Chain A
Amino acid sequence: MDTATPAVTVALHDGSSVVAESSQVDARRHGELLLPAVDRVLAEAGVRLDAVTGIVVGVGPGPYTGLRVGLMTADTFGLALDVPVHGVCTLDGLAFEAQVDGPFVVATDARRKEVYWARYENPRTRTTDAAVDRPADIAEQVAGLPAVGAGALLYPDTFPDAHGPEHVSAAALAALAAERLAAGEELLEPRPLYLRRPDAQVPKNYKVVTPK
């Protein structure tokens, strides 16, 4: 599952292919939509949650409030079912889904006029750490490269060669994770990639209330 982009996306993968999936785009309702989506996907596959042998969750980067819904759900499933919980960078899921030949960029919307982004050598190989930047500030680093994701589509000046998919799908995330696990690779810890410090304004020094 992944809640790091406006998509609330859930998929069930049996190790060789995707059995069932659900993706809904609603950036403000991750919390409400995720569990019913899990329930629906399992029902469609005719499987109960306790048959699942592992959980894969997108760790972002992504807007925090939505991102935490997926991570908290995955963490708690892992606790209740006593199965491993793996993290996958959300941008990697998008890159895997995009299947672009040659080097390219994945960029999602980080709001506040910024994008979360990374460069890829091919759909399986990321060559930079995920970062958050203003599009104009990374124009040189992404120049001439095709780009995928809603962040790229939002800023055509920086990403003139942008196309879909806009958001990650859990089907791609699960497929990528299954491939890596089968190859004996370690996945990430299921911890959030926030990339920004919390907004925390230190309240201004105590304000004098007596008029001078």
Chain B
Amino acid sequence: MADEPLVLGIETSCDETGVGIVRGTTLLADAVASSVDEHARFGGVVPEVASRAHLEAMVPTIQRALKDAGVTAKDLDGISVTAGPGLAGALLVGVSAAKAYAYALGKPLYGVNHLASHICVDQLEHGPLPEPTMALLVSGGHSSLLLSSDITADVRPLGATIDDAAGEAFDKIARVLNLGFPGGPVIDRYAKEGDPDAITFPRGLTGPRDPAYDFSFSGLKTSVARWIEAKRAAGEDVPVRDVSASFQEAVVDVLTRKAVRACKDEGVDHLMIGGGVAANSRLRALAQERCERAGIRLRVPRPKLCTDNGAMVAALGAEMVARNRRPSSWDLSADSSLPVTETHVPGHHHHDHVHEVSKDNLYS
């Protein structure tokens, strides 16, 4: 449909410089420049390294996205950008770029929430989000259960990790096993050849009195590390495949168990899983199995849309345009701890005249 909003989205909350372009719920371009290799030797994302890389990568990545999408900037109906949460300095580079681009092109600007974008991206894969949708977001930065009845206006947090994010646990165990960074893909690979029942690792916060939807991976991490050290101290080989499989099983067991329970408790029949850890093959398989058993429709985007990217920001931006949400002001700031309940950062009323002026497209 030609009248669906054409939106360019910019994402710089962590180490990926993402620029995506969508038309409504159709993905047109998903250009990503990653600085992950520059962080590998540090064993984690170094904020200043990420910020420097965003500045260098931004313009070429925008150009690549426009070329891939086969559209010109003047055709855009809006520019959206991750306003938070994320690394403050990294977010600021994307917000600065988006503001300047929107201003120069005379387009409305939408500062949007990174977590809501992770949910909204599934529209590009499986069509409009059912309302309500339950979402399990798992990555190196977040582990949350969220319930949304309208992705542009209402996202309710049901639970979150009380210590480490799930992806962080993968990174830490990979480091203990000397498997490098990031840990998720390599542990997934080893786990495929290991026995998930070989070692029983603890399932955090699954007792009868524990909060039903919160997560904890710190105890699991310590327990796995101790087990490995005990092996090493005894002079025995560490069975990397079995440790990987058993650790991974403990993580995905808790994640899927709690997500399915939340769906049942809230009477929601759709579960979407997003974030970098959603690329984990065992998480996908176990979620599928448990959702089928519970009569829940599972929606998981392809791995490239699960990790941080600009398309997810564009997807939410397009939804903001489609639903006539108020654009952001030119003084939009990056908010490293933007609450998930704030799906976007609408402008102040008294600044709206700025956008009145902006509608006068410079190229028209």
Binding site for B on A (CB under 8 A): 29, 31-36, 38-39, 48-50, 64-65, 68-69, 71-81, 192, 194, 198-203, 206, 208-210
10 cross-chain pairs, A with B, having the tightest CB-CB distances, nearest first: A80-B104, A198-B48, A76-B100, A72-B96, A35-B330, A73-B100, A200-B46, A50-B362, A32-B331, A32-B333
For residue B200, CB closer than 8 A to chain A, the reply is no
Interface residue from B51, B63, B100, B175 paired with A64 (Cβ < 8 Å):
B51
Q: Using A68-B51, A68-B93, A76-B59 as known contacts, say yes or no to A48 and B362 having CB atoms under 8 A apart.
A: yes
Cα(A184)–Cα(B11), bound, Å: 39
Contact between A80 and B100, CB atoms less than 8 A apart:
yes
Cα(A201)–Cα(B100), bound, Å: 33
Chain A: CB-nearest residue to B100: A76
Q: List 17 A-B contacts (CB under 8 A).
A: A35-B330, A50-B362, A68-B93, A72-B58, A73-B97, A73-B100, A76-B58, A76-B96, A77-B104, A79-B59, A79-B62, A80-B100, A194-B52, A200-B48, A206-B175, A210-B226, A210-B229
Chain B: CB-nearest residue to A78: B59
A4 to chain B, nearest CB (A): 13
Q: Interface size on B (CB < 8 Å)?
A: 44
Chain B: CB-nearest residue to A72: B96
Contact between B103 and A35, CB atoms less than 8 A apart:
yes
Cα(A199)–Cα(B62), bound, Å: 28
Contact between A39 and B46, CB atoms less than 8 A apart:
no
Q: Using A200-B46, A210-B229 as known contacts, say yes or no to A35 and B52 having CB atoms under 8 A apart.
A: no
Interface residue from A36, A74, A206 paired with B176 (Cβ < 8 Å):
A206
Name which of B25-33, B36-44, B237-245 contacts chain A. Answer: B36-44
Q: Using A200-B49, A203-B42 as known contacts, say yes or no to A77 and B96 having CB atoms under 8 A apart.
A: no
Contact between A49 and B230, CB atoms less than 8 A apart:
no
Chain A: CB-nearest residue to B89: A65
For residue B114, CB closer than 8 A to chain A, the reply is no
10 extra interface residue pairs, beta carbon distance < 8 Å, beyond A33-B331, A199-B48: A35-B330, A36-B331, A49-B104, A76-B104, A80-B101, A80-B105, A200-B42, A200-B46, A202-B42, A206-B176
Cα(A48)–Cα(B360), bound, Å: 11
For residue B363, which residues in chain A have a CB less than 8 angstroms away from its CB? 50
For residue B160, CB closer than 8 A to chain A, the reply is no
Contact between A75 and B58, CB atoms less than 8 A apart:
yes
For residue B354, CB closer than 8 A to chain A, the reply is yes
Chain B: CB-nearest residue to A65: B89
For residue B42, which residues in chain A have a CB less than 8 angstroms away from its CB? 200-203
Cα(A118)–Cα(B97), bound, Å: 30
Chain A: CB-nearest residue to B43: A203
Q: Using A50-B362, A65-B92, A206-B175 as known contacts, say yes or no to A31 and B226 having CB atoms under 8 A apart.
A: no
Cα(A50)–Cα(B103), bound, Å: 10
Q: Mark B258-295, 1 if CB is under 8 A from A, else 0.
A: 00000000000000000000000000000000000000
Contact between A64 and B89, CB atoms less than 8 A apart:
yes
For residue B337, CB closer than 8 A to chain A, the reply is no
For residue B233, which residues in chain A have a CB less than 8 angstroms away from its CB? 210
Q: Using A49-B362, A203-B43 as known contacts, say yes or no to A209 and B55 having CB atoms under 8 A apart.
A: no
Contact between B97 and A72, CB atoms less than 8 A apart:
yes
Cα(A79)–Cα(B55), bound, Å: 13
A212 to chain B, nearest CB (A): 10
Q: By CB atoms of chain A within 10 A, which of B59, B176, B230 has the most?
A: B59
Contact between B92 and A35, CB atoms less than 8 A apart:
no
Q: Which residues of B90-112 are within 8 A (CB) of A? A: 92-93, 95-97, 99-101, 103-105
Chain A: CB-nearest residue to B351: A36
Q: Which residues of B204-245 are within 8 A (CB) of A? A: 222, 225-226, 229-230, 233
For residue B186, which residues in chain A have a CB less than 8 angstroms away from its CB? none
Q: Which residues of B45-68 are within 8 A (CB) of A? A: 46, 48-49, 51-52, 55, 58-59, 62-63
Cα(A20)–Cα(B25), bound, Å: 43
For residue B52, which residues in chain A have a CB less than 8 angstroms away from its CB? 64, 192, 194, 198
For residue B250, CB closer than 8 A to chain A, the reply is no
Chain B: CB-nearest residue to A33: B331
Contact between B95 and A31, CB atoms less than 8 A apart:
yes
Q: Using A39-B103, A65-B51, A68-B93 as known contacts, say yes or no to A209 and B222 having CB atoms under 8 A apart.
A: yes
For residue B135, CB closer than 8 A to chain A, the reply is no
Contact between A202 and B105, CB atoms less than 8 A apart:
no
For residue B99, which residues in chain A have a CB less than 8 angstroms away from its CB? 35, 73
Cα(A29)–Cα(B333), bound, Å: 8
Cα(A115)–Cα(B334), bound, Å: 28
A205 to chain B, nearest CB (A): 9
Cα(A99)–Cα(B46), bound, Å: 41
For residue A71, which residues in chain B have a CB less than 8 angstroms away from its CB? 55
